[in-house]
Amino acid sequence: MATRPSFRDRAFVVRTYDFGEADRVVVLLTRNHGLVRSVAKGVRKAKSRFGSRVQMFVELDVQLYPARNQGRGLATITQADTVAYYGRGIIDDFDRYTAGCAILESAERLSYADGLLFDDISHSLRLLQDATNPTLVLDAFILQATAHAGWGLSLFNCAQCGRPGPHHAFHPQIGGAACFSCRPPGSREVEEATLHIMWLLSEGHYAAAEERLTETTAVQVHRLTTQHLQYHLESAVSSLKIMEQA
Contact between 184 and Zn ion (CB under 5 A)?
no
Nearer to Zn ion, 134 or 175 (CB): 175
Contact between 182 and Zn ion (CB under 5 A)?
yes
- What is the footprint of Zn ion within residues 133-162 (CB under 5 A)? 158, 160-161
Contact between 179 and Zn ion (CB under 5 A)?
yes
Nearer to Zn ion, 74 or 182 (CB): 182
205 DSSP 8-state letter = -
Beta bridge partners of 26: 16, 38
- What is the footprint of Zn ion within residues 158-177 (CB under 5 A)? 158, 160-161, 163
Nearer to Zn ion, 121 or 158 (CB): 158
Backbone angles phi, psi at 230, to 5 degrees: -65, -40
Nearer to Zn ion, 146 or 160 (CB): 160
Sheet holding 176-178, edge to edge: 176-178, 169-171, 188-189
Cα–Cα distance for residue pair 143/151, rounded to 1 Å: 9
The candidate with the shortest Cα–Cα distance to 24, out of 1, 48, 58, is 48
In the complex, least distance from residue 154 CB atom to Zn ion, rounded to whole angstroms? 10
Helix residue ranges per DSSP H, the chain: 94-110, 115-128, 134-148, 192-202, 206-211, 215-245
**Contact 178/159 with Cβ under 8 angstroms?**
yes
Contact between 237 and Zn ion (CB under 5 A)?
no
In the complex, least distance from residue 115 CB atom to Zn ion, rounded to whole angstroms? 35
Site size toward Zn ion, by CB under 5 A: 6
Q: Which residues bind Zn ion (CB under 5 A)?
A: 158, 160-161, 163, 179, 182
